[in-house]
Amino acid sequence: MTLAMTGKVAPYKRDFGPMLASVWHAPYPCRLTGISVDAALASLQEIFSQAITPQDVAAIVLKPVQGEGGFHIAPPEFMSRLRALADQYGILLIADEVQSGFARTGKLFAMDHYAVRPDLITMAKSLAGGMPLSALSGRAAIMDAPGLGGLGGTYAGNPLSIAAAHAVLDVIDEEQLCARAERLGAQLVEHLERARQQNPAISEIRALGSIVAVEFSDAAVAMAQGLLLTCGPLGNVIRFLYPGRSPTRSSDRRSIFSTLCCVARPQPAPDARRPVPPERGTPPVLFWPRAARPLDAQEIP
Ligand SMILES: Cc1ncc(COP(=O)(O)O)c(C=O)c1O
């Protein structure tokens, strides 16, 4: 079922054969490709008129902040109108917060940025700080529907992972990681905006708290090399996902942001490129995109 639901064909669905048929994908609003909120909702109406009647739809599942899809952020109007549409037809609205949950966006959940609530929220990843744990939460009427013992699994309720999740929630609270995500994200965006002035290939910088994306007009510029994590249908978006406890002190920030921002700087012509001085040892880059070079210390803003 979930394989049918992912919107990314390669590498996830390729070679897996036929998928479950009763899953439809609708476009997500996107400024750069001109998909407005109206257009995104119109495509849903098209599905309702050509593929399945809305009365037969069990759920609309969306990510308030896309992951693999390109780190697009759902406009508030889109979320409100989706909620209204779901209510109109008795469809469940499910927010996938596997990637966006737990303080990354500056709030505990990305859905906390919106005026409306989903019926269910899926969570994992940061939930237990890397320990294997996923969870589903939602309206009591839905959660209680399966009856006692009706929802289970081999790893459900794993005590070690649950202890880790408690620790994660304590740290988010005690160290105010929501506010920290806001600060780190704002700092990174500021650096990237500066880099953008030197790199016309950057077409958009998107951020919600610490979830930050840089979209390039040329996919080759953003091509994955080393550990670079790209996303979007064209692979032309670089996504920044860093630990929520990353230091915010200026001195520590410099090394983090120089690493992150080097990717967004244009590379000088090959003959003007200087070799990395040997005393620097391994340069502070995790990745080496073709159109980027590491910054010298004096260049770090
Ligand atoms: C937003 C989002 N939803 C769902 C999943 C899949 O989660 P799981 O691996 O727990 O099935 C991922 C995994 O990367 C994800 O990023």
User: Taking 70 as the threshold, does the pLDDT of residue 68 lie above it?
Assistant: yes
Average pLDDT over residues 140-152: 90
What is the best residue among 1, 5, 28, 98 to mutate for testing ligand 1's pocket, by most ligand atoms within 8 Å of CB?
98
Quote the domain boundaries for residue 197: 177-299
* Distance from C-alpha of 194 to C-alpha of 126, rounded to nearest angstrom: 30
Residues 157 and 48 in one domain: yes
| Residue 269: per-residue pLDDT | 45
Residues 148 and 10 in one domain: yes
| Residue 254: per-residue pLDDT | 58
How far, in Å, from the CA of 52 to the mean position of ligand 1? 26
User: Taking 60 as the threshold, does the pLDDT of residue 222 lie above it?
Assistant: no
Last residue of a domain, one of 151, 174, 197: 174
Of 126-135, 144-153, 287-296, the range with the lowest mean pLDDT is: 287-296
Residues 17 and 162 in one domain: yes
Average pLDDT over residues 228-244: 83
Last residue of a domain, one of 150, 174, 198: 174
| Residue 284: per-residue pLDDT | 32
| Residue 56: per-residue pLDDT | 97
67 Cβ below 6 A of ligand 1: yes
| Residue 253: per-residue pLDDT | 57
Average pLDDT over residues 280-299: 38
Could you give the number of structural domains in the chain? 2
Residues 81 and 7 in one domain: yes
Residue 109 tokens, joined: 């959940």
Tell which wins on pLDDT, 198 or 113: 113
* CATH number of the domain enclosing 57: 3.40.640.10
Residues 16 and 164 in one domain: yes
Residues 54 and 93 in one domain: yes
User: Taking 60 as the threshold, does the pLDDT of residue 247 lie above it?
Assistant: yes
In ligand 1, which atom is closest to the CA atom of 68?
Answer: 16
Average pLDDT over residues 218-240: 71
| Residue 279: per-residue pLDDT | 40
Q: pTM to 2 decimals?
A: 0.84
Backbone angles phi, psi at 222, to 5 degrees: -95, 5
* Distance from C-alpha of 110 to C-alpha of 207, rounded to nearest angstrom: 12
134 Cβ below 6 A of ligand 1: yes
User: Taking 80 as the threshold, does the pLDDT of residue 3 lie above it?
Assistant: yes
Q: What is the arrangement of strands in the sheet containing 135-138, beginning at the earlier edge strand? A: 59-62, 92-96, 120-123, 135-138
How far, in Å, from the CA of 11 to the mean position of ligand 1? 14
Residues 82 and 61 in one domain: yes
Average pLDDT over residues 127-131: 94
Tell which wins on pLDDT, 166 or 221: 166
Going by C-beta distance under 8 Å and a sequence separation of 6 or more, which residues neighbour residue 291?
199, 201, 220, 221, 266, 267
Residues 187 and 168 in one domain: no
124 Cβ below 6 A of ligand 1: yes
User: Taking 90 as the threshold, does the pLDDT of residue 181 lie above it?
Assistant: yes
* CATH number of the domain enclosing 216: 3.90.1150.10
Residues 68 and 163 in one domain: yes
Going by C-beta distance under 8 Å and a sequence separation of 6 or more, which residues neighbour residue 80?
114, 115, 116
Residues 132 and 210 in one domain: no
| Residue 62: per-residue pLDDT | 97
Least Cα distance to 209 among 190, 185, 180 occurs for 185
Of 51-55, 193-197, 249-253, the range with the lowest mean pLDDT is: 249-253
* Distance from C-alpha of 219 to C-alpha of 203, rounded to nearest angstrom: 11
Last residue of a domain, one of 174, 204, 229: 174
User: Taking 80 as the threshold, does the pLDDT of residue 190 lie above it?
Assistant: yes
Per-residue pLDDT band at 261 (split at 50, 70, 90): low
11 preceded by a cis bond (ω within 30 of 0): yes
* Distance from C-alpha of 48 to C-alpha of 180, rounded to nearest angstrom: 42
- Assess contact for 108 and 182: CB atoms under 8 A: no
Residues 158 and 40 in one domain: yes
User: Taking 50 as the threshold, does the pLDDT of residue 215 lie above it?
Assistant: yes
Average pLDDT over residues 246-253: 67
Per-residue pLDDT band at 52 (split at 50, 70, 90): very high
